[in-house]
């Protein structure tokens, strides 16, 4: 049981517990009796006694008893006073157990009746999030309040920035950041120059975490997503096409290896020359910068995430080179990538099989590259249904 | 990523064998310690009888969940016949309301959370026929919202836990056609995050428990192709920390219950080899109370039936010898699932 030590309670603790049990049981029975008979609880003295029960008990009837009351009672003044009390009761219940799904939901329910100010809720939320900045219930409640209060995504993004600067090790803040960024870019459309500057700032934020504590996972997945988005911003050689017939199959650059959803959408892509050189230059430069950061990190720390990220970035760079994008003489790096995975197997033996699988994929790509088999891209003049070929490749590697 | 290519790489890299010794060399229970089966059975039977201590009173409202955890553990350990089946079935049915839903105990309000446990407990005893299937199914189907999500009860809380509960319950009852499966799947996918995992509502952070619910629901509805297995697999395998235990989110402490939530997901997406199974077995066994029985969230914490179930179920998924196999999506012994789907 969370937070309770495995020791036999003392005699005093047992006696105190027995008294508490008797009181709790008695109140709970009274509560349920009133609830089943849909009797309204007018007496303040009884409601006060019930507060103790409701702080301890997680029974739904106990949490939600007021819901029935408010749906039946016609005296709006009475309901308002009870709802105000209710907010206090829920606040106390959350202080005892801030991971209670039903308590958090009940607060939303009370708020939906319009009996508290959202400013007050934000202040309360601020206190809870200071006590536990990883509480996902609180973050969910925050999304609920910011929606009610119509707080902009930009302001909330700033909140996540402030939270991260407070403590880099906050996966919840990094996650919320990614959700907000996704919303913002959907709203703003395809302004690539604007996005590029923004991605650069966000990559820099992650670099600070990486150099502070490379073993902290908080930013790893955010960084992976950011790099993926960086390349997806630039669907080089592609434009979306309404046609449902596949013309050419392109393996879009991915830092992760296989993306089932990507393959499902490939039939909507076709090659064009539009924006080719601008997009590809930016992608190549971004990847090169990230590679430089990784090498700098690894020069001072022999860390797992540094090696893994470098391996992924080098794979991404190899892909760009294989597409014929100008690379200032940089050559493909399969040997170095294979070496990184061998290092990772020794550095992190717990996940040896993960690295083995990645290693075998890299080896396959090296072999096919050396034999000149471009399984990922064919010239645009070829009108060929690559979907089947691509899935063959996919099924062979899964 | 396929292990066929492990063979391919061995041809080129003989020193791979050294690494394989580390991963596969030792037998699974060599120096592992032992699962104290008899102690755990005794512990669960004692919890069943206990009703008057503080914890039992506070948890009274979810006794039906407790029954599912305890009874499934007994079944995995091969000791389900230690309980009075008729008494349990009779009590379960007294928890049902007119609307068809089940409360967590007699007199407690109905909710999806307890309705699934009721169905699962009846399935363990092969007594699903005592149910008015139409009534229960209508209660569950009636809680689906227009956007495909499910509420937990009449008060409207939405969470992907309830999507799993609805889909799992109705699949067991062969009544999936009562809901809109397409919108249910669509809603689950709207809760998918950048890390490949799932949260409780759209935009919510990935959590191992929610991942189990969403991946389980997608597995049951034949929709696993929507999952990025490599991405999610990496997130899941990184839940294993140095002690060998699994946590539920990055930078959190390990907890035995994630031996179920994380492990079952890894199995469903065919990536379980990405964790060190031996280390996880050792972590679970270290969380046993070897004197009094039961398993706790982490070593030396107080035991409870919730963590006892997840520890034993996790060991079953890890193929610990002497345990019945458990289905990772339905969270019931495989022979029970076979009885539901194969013999019908």
A68-93: pLDDT as tens digits: 555 555 667 777 777 777 788 888 88
Greater pLDDT, A309 or A270: A309
Q: How many helices (H) and strands (E) does chain A have?
A: 17, 2
- Out of A40-49, B147-156, B159-168, least confident range: A40-49
* Residues in CB range of A58: below 8 A, 6 or more apart: A97, A100, A102, A103, B58, B59, B61, B62
Task: Give percent of chain A above pLDDT 70.
Answer: 69
Residue B100 reports pLDDT greater than 50: yes
Contact A258 B19 (CB under 8 A): no
Question: Of A200-204, A290-294, A307-311, B37-41, where does mean pLDDT reach its minimum?
Answer: A200-204
Handedness of CA A79, A85, A91, A95 (dihedral sign): negative
Q: Map tokens 């699932």 to a residue.
A: B337
Contact check, Cβ <8 Å, A21/B53: yes
Closest partner residue to A350 (CB to CB) among B240, B270, B296 is B240
By Cβ distance, the residue of B193, B238, B307 closest to A217 is B238
Q: Tell me which chain B residues have a C-beta less than 8 angstroms from the C-beta of A309.
A: none
Does residue B236 or residue B21 have the better pLDDT?
B236
- Count of alpha carbons within 13 angstroms of residue B41, beta-carbon side: 15
- The structure's pTM equals 0.84
Task: Return the SS3 of A73.
Answer: coil
Cα–Cα distance between B251 and B209 in angstroms, integer? 16
Asked if residue A353 lies in contact with residue A337, where contact means CB atoms within 8 angstroms, the answer is no
Cβ burial B280-292 (10 Å sphere, 16+ → b, else e): bbbbbbbbbbeee
pLDDT of residue A360: 96
- Chain B residue at shortest CA distance from A3: B301
In tens, the pLDDT along B58-72 reads 678 889 999 999 999
Per-residue pLDDT of B270-289, as tens digits, reads 999 999 999 999 999 999 99
Residue B130 near residue B93, CB atoms below 8 Å: yes
- Weakest-pLDDT range from A72-86, A121-135, A162-176, A280-294: A72-86
Asked if A19 has any chain B CB less than 8 Å from its own CB, the reply is no
DSSP labels for A211-264?
HH-TT-GGGHHHHHHHHHHHHHT--TTEEE-S-SS---------SSS--HHHHH
Chain A within 8 Å of B253 (Cβ-Cβ)?
no
Largest CA distance in chain B: 67
Q: Indicate whether A392 pLDDT > 50.
A: no
CB within 8 Å: B230 and A67: no
Are A1 and B297 a contacting pair at CB < 8 A? yes
| Confidence bin at A232 (pLDDT 50/70/90) | low
User: What's the mean per-residue pLDDT of chain A?
Assistant: 74
The pLDDT-based confidence of A235 (bands split at 50, 70, 90) is very low
- How many Å apart are CA B314 and CA A30, to the nearest integer? 40
**Which CATH number does the domain B29-341 belong to among 3.40.50.150, 1.10.3480.10, 1.50.10.20, 3.30.70.270?**
1.50.10.20
- In tens, the pLDDT along A289-341 reads 889 999 999 999 999 999 999 999 999 888 888 777 777 777 777 999 999 99
8 A C-beta contact, residue B72 and residue B117: no
Judge whether residue B157 has pLDDT over 90: yes
At A369-384, the pLDDT tens digits run 877 755 444 443 333 3
Residue A270's DSSP bridge partners are: A239
Judged against a pLDDT cut of 80, whether residue A9 lies above it is answered with no
Pairing of strands A269-271, B295-296: unpaired
To the nearest whole Å, the CA of B340 is away from the closest chain A CA by 30
Q: Cβ distance B216 to B169 under 8 Å?
A: no
pLDDT score of A245: 28
Which secondary-structure segment (H or E) carries A270? strand A269-271
pLDDT of residue A114: 72
Question: Does B240 contact A at CB distance below 8 Å?
Answer: yes
A42 touches B75 (CB < 8 A) = no
Reported ipTM: 0.88
Distance CA B168, CA B116 (A): 8
The band of A390, judged by pLDDT with boundaries at 50, 70 and 90, is very low
CA dist A44 → A26, A47, A78, A107, B50 (Å): 18, 5, 11, 21, 34
Q: Do B250 and A220 touch (CB under 8 A)?
A: yes
Q: Which residue reads 């309204």 in tokens?
A: A40
Nearest Cα residue in chain B from A21:
B54
Cross-chain residue pair A32–B159, CB shorter than 8 Å: no
Task: Please give the radius of gyration of chain A, using alpha carbons only, rounded to the nearest integer.
Answer: 29
The Cα-based distances of A189 to A28, A193, B6, B15, B78 in angstroms read: 55, 12, 44, 51, 59
pLDDT value at residue A205: 84
Phi and psi at residue A273, to the nearest 5°:
-95, -5
B130 interfacial to chain A (CB closer than 8 Å): no
Exposure b/e, A338-351, CB count within 10 A at least 16 = b: bebbbbbbeebebb
Q: What's the rounded Cα separation, in Å, for the pair A326 and A281?
A: 7
Helices (H) and strands (E) in chain B, counts: 16, 2
pLDDT of A283: 79
Are A256 and A231 spatial neighbours (Cβ–Cβ below 8 Å)?
Answer: no
Please give the average per-residue pLDDT across B52-60, as a whole number.
72
Query: What DSSP state is assigned to residue A3?
Result: T
Distance CA B257, CA B236 (A): 14
């Amino acid at each position: 049981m969370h937070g309770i030590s495995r020791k036999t309670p003392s005699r005093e603790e047992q006696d105190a517990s027995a008294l508490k049990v008797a009181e709790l049981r008695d109140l709970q029975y009274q509560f349920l009796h009133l609830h089943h008979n849909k009797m309204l609880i007018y007496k303040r003295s009884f409601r006060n006694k019930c507060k103790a029960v409701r702080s301890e008990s997680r029974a739904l009837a106990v949490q939600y008893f007021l819901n029935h009351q408010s749906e039946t009672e016609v005296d709006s003044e009475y309901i308002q006073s009870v709802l105000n009390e209710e907010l206090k009761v829920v606040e106390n219940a959350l202080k005892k157990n801030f991971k209670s799904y039903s308590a958090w939901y009940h607060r939303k329910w009370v708020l939906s009746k319009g009996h508290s100010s959202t400013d007050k809720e934000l202040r309360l939320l601020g206190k809870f999030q200071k006590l536990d900045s990883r509480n996902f219930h609180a973050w969910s409640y925050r999304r609920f309040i910011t929606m009610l209060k119509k707080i902009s995504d930009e302001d909330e993004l700033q909140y996540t920035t402030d939270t991260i600067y407070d403590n880099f090790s906050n996966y919840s803040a990094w996650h919320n950041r990614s959700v907000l960024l996704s919303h913002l870019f959907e709203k703003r459309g395809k302004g690539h120059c604007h996005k590029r500057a923004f991605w650069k700032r966000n990559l820099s934020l992650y670099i600070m975490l990486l150099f502070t504590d490379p073993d902290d996972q908080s930013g790893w997945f955010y960084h992976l997503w950011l790099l993926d988005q960086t390349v997806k911003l630039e669907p080089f050689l592609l434009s979306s096409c309404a046609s449902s017939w596949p013309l050419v199959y392109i393996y879009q650059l991915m830092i992760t290896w296989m993306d089932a959803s990507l393959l499902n959408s490939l039939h909507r892509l076709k090659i064009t020359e539009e924006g080719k050189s601008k997009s590809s230059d930016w992608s190549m430069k971004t990847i090169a910068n990230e590679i430089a950061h990784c090498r700098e990190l690894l020069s001072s720390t022999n860390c797992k995430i540094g090696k893994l990220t470098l391996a992924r970035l080098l794979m991404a760079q190899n892909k760009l080179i294989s597409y014929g994008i100008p690379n200032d003489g940089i050559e493909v790096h399969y040997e170095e990538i294979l070496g990184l995975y061998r290092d990772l197997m020794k550095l992190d033996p717990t996940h040896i099989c993960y690295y083995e699988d990645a290693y075998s994929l890299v080896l396959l790509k090296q072999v096919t590259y050396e034999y000149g088999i471009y399984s990922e891209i064919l010239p645009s003049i070829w009108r060929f249904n690559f979907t089947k070929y691509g899935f063959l490749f996919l099924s062979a590697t899964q | 990523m396929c292990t066929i290519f492990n063979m391919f790489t061995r041809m080129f890299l003989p020193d791979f064998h050294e690494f394989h010794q580390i991963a596969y060399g030792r037998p699974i229970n060599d120096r592992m310690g032992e699962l104290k089966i008899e102690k755990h059975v005794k512990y669960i039977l004692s919890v069943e009888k206990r009703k008057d201590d503080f914890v039992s009173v506070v948890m009274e409202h979810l006794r039906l969940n407790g029954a599912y955890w305890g009874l499934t553990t007994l079944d995995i350990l091969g000791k389900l016949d230690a309980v009075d089946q008729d008494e349990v079935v009779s009590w379960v049915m007294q928890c049902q309301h007119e609307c068809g839903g089940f409360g967590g105990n007699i007199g407690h309000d109905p909710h999806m959370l307890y309705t699934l446990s009721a169905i699962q407990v009846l399935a363990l005893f092969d007594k699903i026929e005592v149910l008015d299937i139409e009534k229960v199914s209508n209660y569950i189907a009636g809680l689906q919202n227009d956007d495909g999500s499910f509420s937990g009860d009449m008060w409207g809380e939405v969470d992907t836990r309830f999507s799993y509960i609805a889909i799992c319950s109705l699949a067991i009852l062969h009544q999936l056609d009562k809901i809109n499966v397409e919108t249910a799947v669509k809603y689950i996918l709207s809760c998918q995050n950048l890390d490949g995992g799932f949260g409780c509502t759209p935009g919510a952070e990935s959590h191992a428990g929610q991942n189990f619910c969403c991946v389980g629901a997608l597995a049951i509805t034949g929709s696993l192709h929507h999952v990025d297995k490599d991405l999610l697999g990496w997130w899941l395998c990184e839940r294993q920390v140095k002690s060998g235990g699994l946590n539920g989110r990055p930078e959190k402490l390990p907890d035995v219950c994630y031996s179920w939530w994380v492990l079952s997901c890894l199995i469903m997406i065919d990536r379980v080899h990405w964790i060190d199974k031996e280390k996880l077995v050792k972590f679970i066994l270290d969380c046993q109370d070897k004197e009094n029985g039961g398993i706790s969230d982490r070593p030396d914490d107080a035991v409870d039936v919730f963590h006892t179930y997840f520890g034993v179920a996790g060991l079953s998924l890890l193929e610990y010898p002497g345990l019945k196999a458990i289905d990772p999506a339905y969270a019931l012994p495989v022979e029970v699932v076979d009885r539901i789907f194969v013999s019908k």
